[in-house]
Amino acid sequence: MYLLGGFTLLVLVLWGFERLYLRGQGVESYPPPTDPEAVQRFIRSGGPGPEFQQLIKVVRELTLRISIGRSHQNLQAARSAFDSISAGHEFKSEFFPVDAGGMPAEWVIAPGADKTRRMLYIHGGGFVVGSPISHRAITSKFAEITGCAVLAIDYRLMPEHRYSNCIEDCRTAYRWILNNGPDGPGEIRQLFIGGDSAGGNLALSLIAWIRDHGLRAPEAVVALSPLTDVTFSGVSLHANLDTDIMLYVYWTYKVRPCDPLVSPLLGDLSNLPPTLVQASEAEMLLDDARRYVYKACASGSPAKLQTWPDMVHIWQIFDPQIPQAVEAWVEIDKFLKDRASA
């Protein structure tokens, strides 16, 4: 009897720890924004198209290579496979390595770039894989459409490092880019922040920190399929499990998942810069994107959500192979041009 009672008590303690300490009080439900321009869906007649079917084969092969590397505890093999995502692209930009306040990074410079206008880009990869090399297709595109000098940082990855190190590196990079350009120390006229997936998580965490510390705010933020809720309470994490062929998330509880530092959705979303969030309606992080925008709008921050059906996670990296990626970049271009001229 005493043994049974002790076991029951242990179960209750563990349940309380997981439910109240790790997951916190949950996420309040926010209604869709009243502004009809704040939420947009892009649907193509006839479905995703033949280009997308070819892309599916490529993504499945890539995901398999990454998974094999991770399952054999060969992180270098997984990282090398992930870095090949941008292989085969023809880039109009040039890439220059740089020490960004003690952190390896690279400048991405398109022809005619205005080096007083800059963008900080934070790559995705589940905090485990990814680098400036893997995301050159994205950073080069940002450099082309914005005319900015794009700084792609090579922040520390897990499991060799902690999540807090990822956060520290992004903050270091932000302070550095405020005062440094491709030619060395120099003034900054405009600044944008971008990130995808895990990098989107870090970007959204960063802008809250910028606000709270009274630093110069960026003119705009672009988050592609960001992870915003590490308590994993979004319905789409389960509902889209069978339709998301690309996403995998590596996570270990180094910090409380309900801490706004790691789950931006759970923090104060007021007084943030204009933010564009894009996501696929077929991916597991759809609700992370949707709930973040709904809450940001309800908190008075200018945020916008754009979704596409059927797409893989971070399909924007496959521009111009698929028309939906081209469409996404057209919308990103319009958003950033509007913010730049505001």
Annotated catalytic residues are: 197, 283, 313
Q: How far apart are CA 289 and CA 264, in angstroms?
A: 11
First CA to last CA distance, the chain = 71
Q: How far apart are CA 276 and CA 296, in angstroms?
A: 11
Q: How many residues does this entry show for the chain?
A: 342
Task: Quickly list DSSP for 108-129.
Answer: EE-TT-EEEEEEEEE--STTTS
CA distances from 113 to 107, 109, 176 (A): 11, 6, 19
Q: How far apart are CA 280 and CA 285, in angstroms?
A: 8
Does residue 41 sit in helix, strand or coil? strand
Q: How far apart are CA 305 and CA 256, in angstroms?
A: 27
Q: How far apart are CA 204 and CA 228, in angstroms?
A: 8
